[in-house]
Amino acid sequence: MFSKACKYAINAMIYVATLPEGQERAGLKEISKAVNSPEAFTGKILQELVKHDLLHSVKGPNGGFHIQGDTSKIVLSEIVEAIDGDMLFTGCALGLEKCSEDHPCPVHHKFQAIREHLTGMLMTTSLKDVADRVNIGISFLKY
């Protein structure tokens, strides 16, 4: 469904979104420890998220990553698209290059519904939604 890189990205973003006001900046080490992901690889992924303006970074002592603005404004689909691209949202399930309404693959219509369900969920689920669940202790980022 998602690549490993994308899973790490989502987990990392959720973790940063769970940070309390005031201490809303976390270093790479802290993040990768919190979500149980390989540090250096996670660094690359966070760089990509920074490039996509989903995350901000500060260098130097006490530097780290944080989310600028409201976490309710960032939705999961943005993270997925930043890391995995839009194949999940637009690509043919069976790999046909020109799969469309006019020239549909054998599962085109059956998949359409699922895709809409999936993208709908990803486009309406904000970081705040999921981070809140972690903060109140009803869902988890590790193990």
Partner DNA sequence: ATATTAAAAGATAAAAATATCCTCTATTTT
Partner DNA sequence: AAAATAGAGGATATTTTTATCTTTTAATAT
End-to-end, the C-alpha distance of the chain in Å comes to 19
Task: In whole angstroms, give the CA distance from residue 27 to residue 6.
Answer: 19
Q: Would you state the structure tokens that stand for residue 142, as one six-digit string?
A: 């590790």
Q: Which helix (H) or strand (E) holds 9?
A: helix 4-18
Q: Which helix (H) or strand (E) holds 64?
A: strand 64-66
Please identify, among the stretches 22-30, 96-104, 108-116, 118-126, the one whose residues bind DNA according to the rule CB under 7 A.
22-30
Pick the binder of DNA from 36, 41, 117, 121 (CB under 7 A). 41
Q: Which does 96 bind (CB under 5 to 8 A by kind): DNA, its own copies, none?
A: its own copies
Cβ 119 to DNA shortest distance, Å: 20
Closest CA to 142 of 25, 34, 17, 10: 34
Q: Which does 123 bind (CB under 5 to 8 A by kind): DNA, its own copies, none?
A: none
Cβ 27 to DNA shortest distance, Å: 3
Is 65 within 8 Å of 31 (Cβ atoms)? yes
Q: Which does 68 bind (CB under 5 to 8 A by kind): its own copies, DNA, none?
A: none
Tell whether residue 117 is a contact of its own copies (CB under 8 A): yes
**What number of chain residues touch DNA (CB under 7 A)?**
27
39 Cβ neighbours under 8 A, 6+ residues apart? 28, 29, 32
Q: Which does 21 bind (CB under 5 to 8 A by kind): DNA, its own copies, none?
A: none
Q: Which residues bind its own copies (CB under 8 A)?
A: 1-2, 4, 7-8, 10-11, 14, 76, 88, 93-98, 103-108, 110-111, 113-114, 117-118, 121, 125, 130-131, 133-134, 138-143
